[in-house]
Amino acid sequence: MYSYKTSGTCAQQINYDIIDGKIHNVSFVSGCPGNLKAIGILIEGMPVEEVAAKLRGIRCGNRSTSCGDQLAQALEQHISK
Residue 25 in contact with residue 15, Cβ under 8 Å? yes
First to last CA, the chain: 16
pLDDT on residue 12: 98
Residue 19 phi/psi, 5° resolution? -125, 120
User: How high does pLDDT run on average in the chain?
Assistant: 96
Domain ranges of the chain: 2-80
Give this prediction's pTM: 0.94
pLDDT band at 80 (very low <50, low <70, confident <90, very high): confident
pLDDT on residue 81: 76
How far apart CA 79 and CA 81 sit, in angstroms, is 6
